[in-house]
Amino acid sequence: MAVLLTGGTGFVGLNIARALLKRGEEVVLFAPAPPPEALTQGWIGQARFIQGDIRAPENLDRAFAGGIDRVIHTAALTPDAAAEVERPDLIAEVNFGGTVRLMQAARRAGVRRVLGLSSVAVYGFAPPASDGRLHENSTLLQPAALYGITKLAAEQAINRLGALYGIDTLTVRLGPCFGIREHATGVRPLLSPHWQCAEAARAGRECVLPRPMAADWIDAEVAAAAIADLLASPFPQHATINLGGGAMTTVAAWCEALSALCPAFQWRIGPDAPTVRYGLEQDRAPMDLGRLHATIGRAPVTDDLAAVARRYLTWRDSPEGIALCGA
């Protein structure tokens, strides 16, 4: 039996696919467009690919054909404010409507468990608890944009329909990610500030940050490994789990790590004329990872930015990095 991975050719999806394949899982990637042909000659060729639209029941039924017993649902649109203005209907159709249709298709296929990828965006800028962190059950959810609103609706739909359909479900609130396999897919108008800075460093361009940009940033490979572990673990009954970096780091510190590897790279903080765009106007508190630790026996920490930067730059110049992002 295989794992169906929706949004499987996106940034986080590819990292999850790699983590699952390393564990010996059979993986089926479902996405609107195939990965670059050059990638299919490498590890990604071990996975099956099915092209389709998450909103189309017939496409989903085709994806479930052939023995799917578990699903990791990552497919979503991550809009900026301009996209919210222009196509709020499409955002809702994909992020919420697509999730509902996925659960219906999972029921038809007799799937036994679904792990849905939600987002830290459901918290918005809610004040943290006395320990300075955002908690799954006690923090008042205050999504500040359409992405967070639709992700909250999607996680509630997954858990409600799972209870009605007899499907084990888990929703994972993923923190802000960066790292290898990040690339432009058309569903995220803004790539991470880490990606923007790394591309500037490679091209010899100066980076100007609007502020240091502190968050519990998580290495996407680390996040993917934790998600694969969660899929293999007993699910808390229809629960939600935070998955963040476990430590507060800044994009400014990332720029310092890049500078050590790219001596010609220049960067500074200049709020009046930043060259790096970030969707959040203010920093957000870190998420509590106690429930994650209790479920998989660990809570990963992303704090060695120098190691992540070295790995990213090596990957970026590899055939896989060039296939995804260009030379």
Report residue 7: phi and psi, to 5°: 65, 30
pLDDT of residue 256: 98
CA 218 – CA 213 distance, rounded (Å): 14
The mean per-residue pLDDT over the stretch 31-41 comes to 87
Q: Per residue in 237-260, pLDDT tens?
A: 779 999 999 999 999 999 999 999
pLDDT of residue 125: 92
Q: Per residue in 151-185, pLDDT tens?
A: 999 999 999 999 999 999 999 999 999 999 999 88
Element containing residue 275 per DSSP (H, E)? none
227: helix, strand or coil: helix
The amino acid present at 98, given as its one-letter code, is G
Q: DSSP characters for 230-268?
A: HHHSPPPTTEEEEE--SS-EEHHHHHHHHHHHSTT--EE
- Give strand pairing partners of 49: 29
Q: Is pLDDT of 38 > 90?
A: no
pLDDT of residue 285: 95
Q: In whole numbers, what is the pLDDT of the chain averaged over residues?
A: 95
Report residue 156: phi and psi, to 5°: -65, -35
Q: Per residue in 125-134, pLDDT tens?
A: 999 999 999 9
Q: Per residue in 185-229, pLDDT tens?
A: 878 878 999 999 999 999 999 999 999 999 999 999 999 999 999
The amino acid present at 30, given as its one-letter code, is F
CA 5 – CA 241 distance, rounded (Å): 19
Residue 133, Cβ neighbours under 10 Å: how many? 17
Q: Per residue in 70-88, pLDDT tens?
A: 999 999 999 989 999 999 9
pTM of the model: 0.96
CA 19 – CA 83 distance, rounded (Å): 32
Which one-letter DSSP state was computed for residue 286?
P
Sequence-separated (6 or more) residues with CB below 8 Å from residue 109: 61, 64, 65, 68
The amino acid present at 20, given as its one-letter code, is L
Q: Do the strands 207-209 and 267-269 form a parallel or antiparallel pair, or are they unpaired? A: parallel
CA 107 – CA 168 distance, rounded (Å): 11
CA 170 – CA 172 distance, rounded (Å): 7
Report residue 106: phi and psi, to 5°: -60, -40
Q: Number of H helices and number of E strands within the chain?
A: 12, 13
State how far the alpha carbon of 34 is from the alpha carbons of 7, 10, 31, 76, 313, in Å: 10, 10, 7, 16, 25
Element containing residue 215 per DSSP (H, E)? strand 214-215
SS (H, E, C) 110-137: CCCEEEEEEEHHHHCCCCCCCCCCECCC
Q: Per residue in 266-311, pLDDT tens?
A: 999 999 999 999 888 889 999 999 999 999 999 999 999 999 999 9
pLDDT of residue 58: 98
CA 140 – CA 228 distance, rounded (Å): 28
- Give strand pairing partners of 48: 28
State which CATH number among 3.40.190.170, 2.60.40.10, 3.40.50.720, 3.30.1330.60 fits the domain covering 2-178+217-243.
3.40.50.720
Residues 247, 302: contact at Cβ < 8 Å?
yes
Q: Is pLDDT of 28 > 90?
A: yes
Q: Per residue in 49-73, pLDDT tens?
A: 999 999 999 999 999 998 999 999 9
CA 106 – CA 53 distance, rounded (Å): 15
What residue segments make up the domains of the chain, in order of their start?
2-178+217-243, 193-215+248-280+304-325
Element containing residue 312 per DSSP (H, E)? helix 305-316
The mean per-residue pLDDT over the stretch 303-321 comes to 96
Name the more confident of 114 and 278. 114
pLDDT of residue 264: 94
pLDDT of residue 206: 96
State how far the alpha carbon of 274 is from the alpha carbons of 76, 96, 166, 258, 282, in Å: 28, 34, 50, 18, 15
